[in-house]
Amino acid sequence: MRDALFGTLLARVCCGFLGVVVLAAALGPWLSPWEFDAVDWDAIDTAPSLAHWFGTDGVGRDLLTRTLSGAQISIAIALAATVVSCCIGIPWGATAGYLGGRTDQAMMRIVDGLYALPFILLVILLVALFGRNIVLLFAALGAVSWLDLARIVRGQTLAVKSEAYLEAARGLGAPTFTVIRRHVVPNVLGPALVYATLTVPGVIIAESFLSFLGLGVQEPQTSWGVLIADGAREMHSSPWQLVFPAVMLTLTLFAFNVLGDRLRDAVDVH
């Protein structure tokens, strides 16, 4: 695992980059001399300068602060959604794998069916109909991204199913769901969490799509999707407004994907 994260130069750079992004997202808006929604009347729509490293947007808000504040929200939503998807996917997969037989078939058939569905439609339906708030956003995104996790956990559960400690737990008369909760889940948690990290970039993309369409995070709060949508509108006259958030999003996704691939190879569950 350590080798996967720090084995090559590229992996080390990606780790470092993600670390910097997370740290900057956590501390940046707080350290910056500007507020994310404060207007600098002397610098409206200005190119990058010493005062505003990433320039300012159309109403004079500091783009660096907004990019970091957007990072905060994009990453927070992604992590929260991932937690939600773990809460559904891990119990689902462990139950299906452990019980086996008809229950397993039915549960995995549901997962297969959901795979074929354009889930983003339901998320859009939910956020559009029930208001655009952040809690609903990550709950909905989490509720639709647990499918891979359920498959992986089921596979892992099948692998540990015949282990002696499970037999011992059953022999001592532990109820089925206690066995799943206390003995199956902890033993499949490692690979499951690795896979959970792989859902993070997916959720970041989904959130940025929704925000881009105006269905996600709302003004004055911001996320990478909102910033890219704003930047795309102004790109002819002020390309920096598009370039900085776009580069941040791309590099973050790239780093997540590189590390995700290496982690997947290290755990090697397919």
Which residues sit at the interface with another protein, rule CB under 8 A? Answer: 109, 113, 115-122, 124-126, 128-131, 201, 205-206, 208-209, 212-215, 225, 228-229, 231-232, 235-236, 239, 242, 246, 249-254, 257-258, 261
C-beta closer to another protein: residue 118 or 186: 118
Provide, rounded to whole angstroms, the least separation between the CB of residue 43 and another protein.
23
**Tokens in use for 76?**
């927070």
CB 205 to another protein: min, Å: 5
Measured distance CA(64)–CA(16) in Å, rounded: 19
Burial of residue 117 (number of CB atoms within 10 Å: 0-12, 13-18, 19+):
exposed
Q: In the complex, what is the shortest distance from the CB of residue 122 to another protein, in angstroms, rounded to a whole number?
A: 7
118 versus 171: smaller Cβ distance to another protein: 118
Instruction: Name which of 17 and 177 has its Cβ closer to another protein.
Output: 17
For the chain, how many residues are written?
Answer: 270
Amino acid at site 131: G
Residue among 40 and 234 whose Cβ is closer to another protein: 234
- Residue 149 or 185: the one with the smaller Cβ distance to another protein is 149
Could you tell me the two tokens for 245? 């958030």
In terms of CB distance, is 3 or 261 closer to another protein? Answer: 261
How large is the angle between the packed helices 185-212 and 224-233, nearest 10 degrees? Answer: 20
Task: Indicate the residue among 163 and 261 with the shorter CB distance to another protein.
Answer: 261
Q: How far is the CB of 172 from another protein (least distance, A)?
A: 41
Q: Which CB sits closer to another protein, 24 or 198?
A: 198
Contact partners, residue 179, CB within 8 Å, separation at least 6: 98, 166, 169, 170
- C-beta of 142: minimal distance to another protein in Å? 16
Give CA–CA dist 98/104, Å, rounded: 8
Report the amino acid identity of residue 164: A
188: Cα within 13 Å, side-chain hemisphere: 36
Which amino acid, 225?
A: G
CB of 6 to another protein, least distance (A): 18
Within a 10 A sphere around the Cβ of 205, how many other Cβ atoms? 16
CB of 243 to another protein, least distance (A): 9
> 34 is written with which tokens?
């500007």
Q: How far is the CB of 3 from another protein (least distance, A)?
A: 18
CB 46 within 8 A of CB 52: yes
Q: What is the DSSP letter of 177?
A: H
Q: How many CB atoms lie within 10 A of CB 107?
A: 17
